[in-house]
Amino acid sequence: MAPTSRLPRFGYKALGPSTPDVTSAQHCRAEVFLAEHGWVSMDPADVAKVAREETGGWLASDAPIVAAVRAKLFGACEGNWIAYNTAHGVALPKAKHGDLVFFMYPQAETAEGRIDCLAPAAFKYTTTAEPA
């Protein structure tokens, strides 16, 4: 498998996966509605990650490296993610146990019901990523 360090990271070592196993790398990003622009993507968690991890110590929000990533992630998101949905009450095809409140993790059902996707001991799966 090719190293994931070749995945696009906007040029920041703190962004993107550091291993091909991205099973626990789920991440929520935010969108806000701005009257003059409509819905705008932003990723404050990744800005904080750069501030915390890029140099090994916390950087101030006005530090040049943090200011630069803030500018890049206002109106954009880091490129290493897949959007599962942008809705509430997601109805999965052939699901027998109701709609999902959110769809961030893989989902599975048995005859007894839906497996709790937030309980890693009960629901085991692996997600991997490779550069394109």
For residue 35, the model assigns a pLDDT of 93
Whether the CB-CB separation of 50 and 15 falls below 8 Å is answered with: yes
H helices present in 1-132, as ranges: 44-53, 64-73
Q: What pLDDT, on the 0 to 100 scale, is given for residue 5?
A: 36
Q: Give the residue ranges of the chain where pLDDT is below 50.
A: 1-8
Tell me if the pTM is above 0.85.
Answer: no
Nearest Cα neighbor of 43 from 64, 80, 73 is: 73
What are phi and psi for residue 65, nearest 5 degrees? -70, -35
Burial of 119 (0-12, 13-18, 19+ CB in 10 A): exposed
Is the CB of residue 124 less than 8 Å from the CB of residue 108?
Answer: no
